[in-house]
Amino acid sequence: MGGSGTLKAVLFDRDGTLVVDVPYNSDPQLVRPMDGALSALQKVRRAGLATGVVTNQSGVARGLLTLEQMHAVNQRVEQLLGPFDVWEFCPHGPEDGCDCRKPGPGMILAACRALGITPEEAAFVGDIGADMEAAAAAGARAVLVPTEVTRREEIEAAGSVAADLGRAVELLLSGALEEQDARV
């Protein structure tokens, strides 16, 4: 787990973390914030930290949605939960071998570059193991917020687990993540 620098940004996975996961969503009208997402984001912003979204969107590579549709969905997320300081997305499929797709660190590193911070000054909140692996590979702090799709082994492997987004943000803002294996 990374994270000895002062926290300057909290990055979030989109589907299953900030908004209810609608697989390969191409319709902005289907975007629904997760419970507590807006208040958690407001706490981060009030604390003076940057916010960002880091999202795999393999539906583009799979031909299930267009880049325009993905941008329209992202725009709806921005309307409901923004403003975000940075957006990073990977339109590639798992077999494309890109550096950006989580569990690779590419998008987290790119978001940090865009914000002018080091990965050690960032935290990433997500709902699956690939999110935690991407944060670890980038050198950022990580908090897992499990959903019904999160596998037990992903929960067990995560260094920090929070019951919901609000608790994840509290954990990050309190500095409790500096303690090993935080679970709230």
Buried b (16+ CB within 10 A) or exposed e, 31-41: bebbebbeebb
CA distance 148 to 150: 6
Q: What whole-number distance in Å separates Cα of residue 99 and Cα of residue 82? A: 27
Residue type, 39: S
CB 65 within 8 A of CB 98: no
85 counts as catalytic: no
Known catalytic residue at 99: no
Identify the H or E element spanning 157: helix 152-157
CA distance 46 to 152: 33
Positions annotated as catalytic residues are: 13, 15
